[in-house]
Amino acid sequence: MNRPFSAKDHLPAQLFSVAQIRELDRQTIAAQGDDGFTLMHEAATSALSVLQHHWVDARKITVIAGPGNNGGDAFILAALAFECGIRVRVFTLGDLTKQTSAAQKALNMAVQTGISIERLSTASDLNGDVLVDGLLGTGLSSEPRDEFAQAIAAINAADIPVLALDVPSGLNADSGVVYGPVVKADVTITFIGVKRGLLTASGPDVCGALELAELSVIDSAHANIVADAERISWARLHDEMRGLAPRRGNAHKGHFGHVLVIGGESGFGGAAMMAVEAAGRIGAGLVSCATRPEHVPALLTRRPEVMALGVNSGLELAPAIQRATILAIGPGLGQTSWSELLLQQVLGAQQPVVLDADALNLLASPGWHCEFSERVAVLTPHPGEAARMLGMTVAEVQTDRFASARLLAQRYQAVVVLKGQGSLIADPSGRVALCTDGNPGMSCGGMGDVLTGVIAALLAQGLNAWDAACLGVCCHSAAADVAVADAGIRGLLATDLMPILRELIN
């Protein structure tokens, strides 16, 4: 098996909010003693280097510059490219009378090299080997309109490779939300630090390959500003040895925990079975499953290693809970009276617990308020479940995934995994990690059930809730990346991950 590397593993661990990047920018400009032109020039120089690296044979480029500092970067890039012998056309739009002094200097620099600045009128104006997007930058907070929306449509229709400066125009760099038209870049070079929205929600869909130019930000600025979130991946956690300790030769199954998976209402037995198998493949010493009696034969046929218990009531579940060291509830649980009775037993227990799927939907129902301040707990909602738990719409959750994950962790006093592209892990203190492993092939039934078993098994083997959630999410996502590399995005099944999970955890 090839070692899985995220396409973002060349990026640093620190992820920043837009406000933090602006403060790093402000402090550096103040220390440099100018209006920001020096840093702008450095950004443009880095961007030209990236352009020439990705498109070695580019001889003609088209640059679209807006009226802000993002446009200033674009004007300087155009001037530098022209001086290198590249043919350059520059189009602009917006009110240039509102430019900052640095952006005005950048425009003048382009003009002084002999480049004529044109107003963008039709998509037919856009041609060349590479198109540079310097329209909007990080300041976007609403849908691009009028000539900006038309320009974005023209860029996407031009069928020319696109280099986006700092962030593709139309993408919110804080949240990864797309409000309307957005530039679909082939490469994005972002400046100073990685903006968190580039790696979650719709960010990865429109950024293309992501490059970072950290620029000459002063050390004191970085010392004063703590990154908003941490970027994690299987490769990074593996390299930092943030995983399970080696096993001793005289170990036995009792050293590696006893996971009890609870779920599988009538018709949904497969969900519990997948969680059970995942827990075993990740290395739990013992795995039990409490499910509807009719699922027991199929479960034992598929995985004879599991201790299967058919239960019809919460009272029947109680002895199994007492024997377990880790509880995992939710896969295939349903929202019936049977489901409620089992969840009540789990909520009354003391063992560490992983809650997923309908266990979360029940918690979100009236009369089920619960928090886990006195207990180790990991909650793994997808955006729909998170919305129900927070009393929001899915759109509101996705509008700021970071705030939603933090709010869930604080409200339930638990570690929370907010699943989706760029899955987030949050804890009640406000700490957030973002996983850059994973792919669209994971959009299939059963993936969440497997993740539940993975995290439960890591808890059983001694990891704390934060480390189990981080490693579990990355191992699960990286396994999907390995599977997709072998056979493609479409047709991936959750059970395809099982042998790969075992290889990765070892």
Over 90: is that where the pLDDT of 441 sits? Answer: yes
Residue 468, classed as helix, strand or coil, is helix
Least confident of 137-141, 157-161, 172-176, 299-303: 137-141
* pLDDT tens figures, 382-417: 999 999 999 999 999 999 999 999 999 999 999 999
pLDDT band at 462, cuts 50/70/90? very high
In sequence order, which residues have a C-beta less than 8 Å from that of residue 330 and are 6 or more positions away?
262, 263, 354, 355, 356, 357, 358, 359, 360, 380, 452
Q: What is the pLDDT of residue 219?
A: 83
Residues 286-295 have a mean pLDDT of 98
* pLDDT tens figures, 215-267: 998 887 788 899 999 999 999 999 999 999 999 999 999 999 999 999 999 99
The residue behind tokens 């509807």 is 292
Cβ atoms within 10 Å, residue 104: 16
Residue 27, classed as helix, strand or coil, is helix
* pLDDT tens figures, 320-368: 999 999 999 999 999 999 999 999 999 999 999 999 999 999 999 998 8
* pLDDT tens figures, 34-90: 999 999 999 999 999 999 999 999 999 999 999 999 999 999 999 999 999 999 999
Residues 135-143 have a mean pLDDT of 87
Phi, psi dihedral angles at 27 (to 5 degrees): -65, -35
Over 70: is that where the pLDDT of 122 sits? Answer: no
Q: What is the pLDDT of residue 121?
A: 78
Q: Determine what percent of the chain is predicted with pLDDT higher than 70.
A: 99
Q: What is the pLDDT of residue 224?
A: 85
Q: What is the pLDDT of residue 220?
A: 79
Q: Is the CB of residue 144 less than 8 Å from the CB of residue 152?
A: yes
Return mean pLDDT, the chain. 95
**Cα–Cα distance list, 134 to 163, 200, 215, 501 (Å):** 9, 22, 18, 42
Q: What is the pLDDT of residue 28?
A: 92
Q: What is the pLDDT of residue 172?
A: 96
Q: Which amino acid is at 361?
A: N
pLDDT band at 278, cuts 50/70/90? very high
Residues 141-166 have a mean pLDDT of 93
Please, what is the end-to-end C-alpha distance for the chain in angstroms?
A: 12
Which segments of 100-218 does DSSP mark as H helices, in order? 101-112, 146-157, 203-207
Q: Determine what percent of the chain is predicted with pLDDT higher than 90.
A: 90
Which string of b and e fits 138-164 if b means at least 16 CB within 10 Å? Answer: bebeeebeebbbbbbebbbebebbbbb
Q: What is the pLDDT of residue 123?
A: 64
Q: Which of 429, 430, 448, 428 is nearest to 438 (CA)?
A: 448
Is the overall model pTM greater than 0.75, yes or no?
yes
